[in-house]
Structure 1
């Protein structure tokens, strides 16, 4: 079984999970895979959008349902949580739409918004539109990067093993750095 077969078989499921839990890096890689023809472009956009939507809905519901629980209180102690609430209070709709595009606020924001009085139905509507835009932007970015790489290097078939190794290493290093930084920040 080769890598291309694995991506064709499990790529959309991996993209769904990766878009929800990691975010942009996995989604851009999904766009690269779409450029290579291993994933179809529009299904990749839909799956990335759905993964982001579901994860943010989950965090919103955790904030809404478990306001007094230790998990939410631990998140509330972080400066990013306070910044998210402060920005939400000034621009509730704009912030609810744009938090997923803001570095450092993507994961804590839906939980913070869940602790506010924003109606769940309003969050669902804004979240759905924002997730669709986000998925389209980042899958397209990956797709265009693939086009740029192909234009720069010509047919990149000979470099595929190297590129695949570099992408895999970058993902592993990125995830490791994310967890190390999270541990250093206390959570």
Structure 2
């Protein structure tokens, strides 16, 4: 089964889930599917924005609910967490709006922000606005550069088996990295 067939079968739901779990790569692929006519442009943007918004709201809620949990307390000492909180304290509104665009801070930031006193409603409004902008940018990148990206991806990933194998390899490597870091 080809990537196009997967998108044709699962469409915007796959983009929504992928945007929340993986991020930019899936959303750019969604833009490529828009360029190919497999997905509607506005629908792709909304699916990506909603997926990203939901994931960040869940991370924020986890940070708020588990701020005193030993694992979150341990995370507070990690460099990315410290960077996120330091930047948040200097420019809270700008940081909430921009964290999804900052490499290395996308996942940890909503958890870190959840440990602060920022009201949920304010986070939700800023997060929703930022998710919509982010989705528009990355779907548009896939749309505008879709033809060239499609050829590049077509050469590297000719079938869903290669894609599935790469995903499994990534999951194994990520799991081993997490386990190794946790041991240390």
Matched ranges for 1:23-102 at <5 A: 23-102=23-102
Which structure 1 segments of 5+ residues have no match? none
How far the C-alpha of 1:55 sits from its partner, in A, is: 0.4
The verdict on how the C-alpha distance between 1:106 and 1:149 changes in structure 2, with shifts beyond 3 A counting, is: closer
Q: Which blocks of at least 5 consecutive residues in structure 2 are unaligned?
A: none
Residue 111 in 1 paired to residue 123 in 2? no
User: Normalising by the residue count of structure 2, what TM-score does the alignment of the two structures yield?
Assistant: 0.84
SS at match of 1:185: helix
Pick closer, same or farther for the CA change 1:29–1:98 going to 2, 3 Å: same
Match of 2:181 in 1: 185
> CA 1:83–1:162 in 2, change beyond 3 Å: closer, same or farther?
closer
Change in CA separation of 1:96 and 1:16 when aligned onto 2, cut-off 3 Å? same
Superposed displacement of residue 4, structure 1: 3.5
Distance 1:136 1:64 in 2: 28
Let me know the Cα RMSD of the aligned residues: 2.7
Change (3 A) 1:4 1:148: closer
Q: Is the 2:32–2:149 contact (alpha carbons within 8 Å) kept by the matching residues of 1? A: no
1:165 is matched with 159
Deviates more, 1:73-82 or 1:32-41: 73-82
Match of 1:135 in 2: 135
Aligned residue pairs, count? 181
The residue correspondences of 1:134-153 to structure 2 (distance < 5 A) are: 134-149=134-149
Match of 2:20 in 1: 20
The reply to whether residue 124 of structure 1 matches residue 120 of structure 2 is no
Q: Aligned-pair distance for 1:178?
A: 4.2
